[in-house]
Every structure is written in C-alpha cells, then in structure tokens.
Structure 1
Amino acid sequence: MNHGIEKKARIVGLFLFIGIVTGIFSIAPAIDSTNYLTEVNTNSNQVITAAIFQFTMSLIYLGIAILLYPIVKRYSQSLSIGFLSFRVIAVSLSIVGTILMLSILTLSENYVDVSSNNLLEIETLGNILKSSRDYANHVFMILALCTGNVMLYLVFIKSNLIPKWISFWGITGAVLSIVASGLVLFREIDIITVEYMVLNAPTAILELVLGIWLMLKGFDKRILKADEYENPDSCTLGTIHNG
C-alpha cells in the first residue's frame, strides 16, 4: 500500500511541475493586449497554442486531485471532498476559459473582414467574451482552485504527510491569490500587472517547491507506516483497489 502511495506522490509532484510549465505556455499576450481583436487575428497560432496548453493544464489539475483524493480522505473525508469538489469546479471554469479564448479568435477573424457599419457590434461582443474569459480564468477559477487548496493543506497539516512549513506556505499563498482575484473582480487592479503577479508569486513558487519535494521525498513514510498499522482494514482495501 505504502509503495503505491509513494508512487502516486511522485506522479503528483511531476504533475505539479508540468502544470507550471503548461500554465506559462497558456498565456496569450495577444488576447490581453488593448487591440486584442486585431492582435489575436495576427497571432492566431499563439492563441491556439495557448488554448491547447490551457486545456492540458486543466487535465493536469484534475489528475492531481484524482491521485490525491484517495490518500487524503483517510485523514479528513469532509475536507477531502471539499478539495475535490472545488478542484472539479476550477477545472470546469478553466475549460470554459479555453472555449472563450477560441471564440475570441473566431470573432477576431471576422473583425478584419466586416464593414465599418458592423465594427461596433463585433467590438461589443468581443468585450463581452474577453471579460467573460478574464472572470472565468483569473477570478472564479482561481477562487475555486485556491479554496480547494486551502482545504488540501489543512488535511496535510492534520496528517503531517508533508512538512508543516510547506502547508502553511500553501495556505498563505492561496489566500494571497484569492485577494488578487478579489481585487481584479472589484476592478482595483488589472490582470497582468505587477501587483497581480506579486500576489500570485508565492503560490507559483510553492507549487514548484512542493512538486520537487514530492518527486524527491514523497509523503512522510513514518506517517504512512503508522497509519497502515492503525488502520489495517483501510490499507488492505486500498491494496486490493490499487491491484
């Protein structure tokens, strides 16, 4: 049983690293530019590539939750269900954001071909799609993702599967990311600004640190061994299930 958990921990660590890479490549500067309707059409390959990476990132996020849930639910079922539920919501919003990104691309292709009489209508629709994407990607997806992460790190604190300093860092970073999204929601700051990046930096760095930790060390073997000794029935069931 412990061998299977250690293997899952290393896969989660790898997924965290891949998630960071796909997240970086899911950025499409053309969509975030002031003249996005013309810029997106000119840089269509950039937008399509970003959409592919964002969809891949969504699957990675879901994969992390699927791998972690059977492990962490042994320490707090309610928090684990909350983590999984918010992660599914976050993934769904990320996929919606991907669809909206491609919709903006389609709209931009039509924008350069229409007469001046229809430009205002397309610009209005473009603003609606762009705002919807920004809210889906940078506000509500982040809020759902970070809320679930707080629940996950609370389980980690309770279980001692990873060092507590990582868990407290994770909670602090998640709260700062929630604050950043809240400020964007109330239009106090814009997306892709220094303030927004600074508030989200602790979470990004933490995911890199946690990914490396899990790949190199995994979960605390003493905790896993003690849990296996105290709960032999659940461990046996997990072994049968994994087999």
Structure 2
Amino acid sequence: MTTDKKIRLAGLLILSGMCSGIFSVAPAVDSKTYLTAAAQNSNGVLLAAVFQFIMSLTYMGVAILLYPEIKRFNRSLSIGFLGFRILAAALSIIGTTLLLAVLALSEAYLQNPSQGSVGPGLLGNVLKASRDYVNHVFMVLVLCTGNYLCYLLLYRSKLIPQWLSLWGMVGAFLAVSASILFLFRQVDVITYGYLALNVPTAIHELVLGIWLIVKGFNKSDLQPAAPSYTPLSSFRSFFY
C-alpha cells in the first residue's frame, strides 16, 4: 500500500471512529432505571457494544497506518503514539465488556425480580461506575496522551498545517481536563460543561479526518534525511 493510500485510509478510520463513538452511546444503560431499561432495550445496548468495539479497532488502525510514515521523523514520539493507542484500544474493549456485563445483570434481574433490587442494584452501580471510569477517565487520558505525542510530531515535521496540529494539542488538553473534572465529580458526562470541553476535539477529529482524505501529508516533507543506523533485527527495525 502506498503512503498516500495509508494516509487517506487513516483519515477514513478517524471519521469511522467518530461515527462509531456516537453510536456507542447506550442511553438505556446510562439511565437511572438501567436495571430494567437495559434488558428492555437489549438490541440497542448490543448495538452500542458493537460500535464501541469497532471504535477500538479504529484506534489501533489509525496508529498502525500512521506509524510507518511518522517514525522517520521522531522515533520516540511515534512509538509513544503507537503504544498509547494500543492501550487505549484495550481499555475501550474493557469498557465494552463492562457494558455487556450491565446488560447481563439487567436480564438476570428481569428474569427473577423477586430477589429484590438491593443486591443487583449495588452490583450494577459498581459495573456502571467502573465503565464510566474506564471510558471517560482512563481511556481518555491514555488516548489524549498518545494524540498529543502524535500532534507534537506532526507540528514539528509540518506534515499537516501547524495550526491543525496545535488545535489537536489544545483539544487533547481540554479533553483531559474534562476527564479529571469527572474523576473528582465536579461534572457529569451528560452535562454542558463536560461536552463543551470535548467539542474542540470532536470538531478537530472531523477536520483532521477530512484533511487526510483530501490532502494527505505534505509531500514536500515526506522524505526526511535517512537516519544512520543499522537494525539489529526485524523486530527492532520495525520500532526503530
């Protein structure tokens, strides 16, 4: 696959990840009556889980496609970007598993409601809180750290306009701020404050995805001077 095709495919995956993230929302699980609503809307919850899993794959796909093209400009930053993206994808999959666990609990409760709601409610609250912390705190912190490293590399290499890279770094900082506020219970997920802090990142992802599809990387900067080193093995040559 040529460099241009890789970059454009990465842009397409960025847009696909955005769409998947939108459809990964599960209102039934986020509602106060999730203990019954999740099972009553099981198809919607399952669909949300599928889209969150697809979103996880796009996280890794973008990094895998971009890594061979950006590692020539800065090995450390590109490795950090790849590593944090893989970790973010793993955390997203954990969040998907927790979502399905809430659904399974809800279905079990509806099948045997006579057992009372104290036990299932307590377990459900733990699963929901764990899912929120994984999805909206730890996964975001890891993802934004990797994104910041990538945008810093792109800013220095000028593979995309510097204003676009700078926008991405600022957006990552704001998204991290929203997650920290959520961690300390200063804001909730479905609030204007939390959403406002994440809007710059959402718009940036849209612009970046379209830019990579239409423009790709700056071709005048795609061929940096070759580094003087000798790979010791195929594994090391992949990362270095």
Same fold (TM over 0.5): yes
Q: Which amino acid aligns with 2:184?
A: F
Identity %: 55
> Could you report, residue by residue, the CA deviation over 1:2-35 in whole angstroms, capped at 9, with x for unpaired residues?
x821111100111111111111111111111111
Work out the CA distance in 1 between the residues paired with 2:227 and 2:163. Answer: 29
Query: How much has 1:118 moved relative to structure 2?
Result: 3.9
2:205 — aligned with what? 207
CA RMSD of aligned residues (A): 1.8
Find the residue that maps to 1:112 and give its secondary structure: helix
For structure 2, which runs of at least 5 residues remain unmatched after alignment?
A: 230-237
Work out the CA distance in 1 between the residues paired with 2:217 and 2:32. Answer: 46
Count of residue pairs the alignment pairs up = 231
Work out the CA distance in 1 between the residues paired with 2:14 and 2:190. Answer: 22
1:74 — aligned with what? 72
2:86 — aligned with what? 88
Work out the CA distance in 1 between the residues paired with 2:32 and 2:134. Answer: 19
2:18 — aligned with what? 20
Q: Which amino acid aligns with 1:22?
A: S
Are the counterparts in 1 of residues 26 and 48 from structure 2 also a CA contact under 8 Å? yes
Q: How does 1:16-165 map to 2 (within 5 A)?
A: 16-165=14-163
Name the CA shift for 1:115/1:37 in 2 (closer, same or farther; >3 Å): closer
1:182 — aligned with what? 180
Q: Which amino acid aligns with 2:28?
A: A
Work out the CA distance in 2 between the residues paired with 1:232 and 1:132. Answer: 45
Work out the CA distance in 2 between the residues paired with 1:85 and 1:134. Answer: 22
Q: Which amino acid aligns with 1:97?
A: G
Work out the CA distance in 2 between the residues paired with 1:215 and 1:88. Answer: 23
Are the counterparts in 1 of residues 72 and 226 from structure 2 also a CA contact under 8 Å? no
For structure 1, which runs of at least 5 residues remain unmatched after alignment?
A: 235-240
Name the CA shift for 1:56/1:115 in 2 (closer, same or farther; >3 Å): closer
Q: Which amino acid aligns with 1:43?
A: N
> Could you report, residue by residue, the CA deviation over 1:124-144 in whole angstroms, capped at 9, with x for unpaired residues?
000000000000111100000
Query: How much has 1:82 moved relative to structure 2?
Result: 1.0
2:170 — aligned with what? 172
Query: How much has 1:122 moved relative to structure 2?
Result: 0.7
TM norm structure 2? 0.92
